[in-house]
Amino acid sequence: MTKDPGVETGFLPDAARDAREAAAREALAREWLAEQERLKGTAITVTYSWWDGTGHRRELAVPQGTSVGKFLERARQDLARDFPTLRTTSTDNLLFVKEDLILPHTVTFYDLIVNKARGKSGPLFQFDVHDDLRLTADARVEKADSHPGKIVDRRWYEKNKHTVPASRWERFDPAAGARAVPYTIHGGEVVPPPK
């Protein structure tokens, strides 16, 4: 009685095959991590406004991996030249509001882009701003364009949170994901709420 060489033996343990698969997985993981780091280093231009009741629009180029807190520090340094009160203000006392959501200092722009996070009035992952935003009166209809983010002093927010626009602002919860309210994108496509 001899062994049949045509029998499938792929299910049997094979140390050499397992080592090759582990090496291939490790190489793919290293490649994926390197690609993510490359993406985090890619520069984006963030359009923002210093909001003290009126807007003072500016732009700042930062890497995608920058956290909102680090962005606020760079923006504070940029704004301090024109607004002397910001020279003594701590970054912890500044808020970054994008699409009516107050973003935590720990979230990165990369996280918003990868997760395609959405706010109440537009995408949180687009930072370029165009003027003609809202052509229809329906708040659920969204164009691909977005509003500039607002940098606000926390004291101004606490004093004015009962007035518009601060009364519409809510805290962003990254764990909640997309909003539960269905909305449509310019063109009429309906996007269902997440389950």
Of the given ranges (1-5, 9-13, 157-161, 175-179), which has the lowest mean pLDDT?
175-179
What is the average pLDDT across 90-117?
88
Token pair 């990868």 is found at 114
Looking at the domain assignment, is residue 27 inside a domain? no
CA distance from start to end of the chain:
60
- The predicted structure's pLDDT at residue 33: 93
C-beta separation of 17 from 121 below 8 A: no
Tokens read off for 87: 């020279």
Looking at the domain assignment, is residue 104 inside a domain? yes
What is the average pLDDT across 137-163?
75
Counting the structural domains of the chain, the total is: 1
Looking at the domain assignment, is residue 182 inside a domain? yes
Looking at the domain assignment, is residue 20 inside a domain? no
pLDDT reading at 168 higher than 50 = yes
- The CATH code of the domain that includes 114 is 3.10.20.90
Looking at the domain assignment, is residue 160 inside a domain? yes
pLDDT reading at 90 higher than 70 = yes
Neighbouring CB atoms inside 10 A of 56's CB total 13
**Segments forming the whole domain that contains residue 101:** 41-191
Q: 73-99 as b/e, with b when 16 or more CB fall inside 10 Å?
A: bebbebbeeeeeebeebebebbbbbbb
Sequence letter at residue 32: W
Looking at the domain assignment, is residue 10 inside a domain? no
Looking at the domain assignment, is residue 36 inside a domain? no
- The predicted structure's pLDDT at residue 182: 47
Give 30-75 pLDDT, tens digit per residue. Answer: 999 999 999 888 888 888 888 887 778 888 899 988 999 999 999 9
pLDDT reading at 191 higher than 70 = no
- The predicted structure's pLDDT at residue 100: 82
What is the average pLDDT across 153-162?
89
Looking at the domain assignment, is residue 126 inside a domain? yes
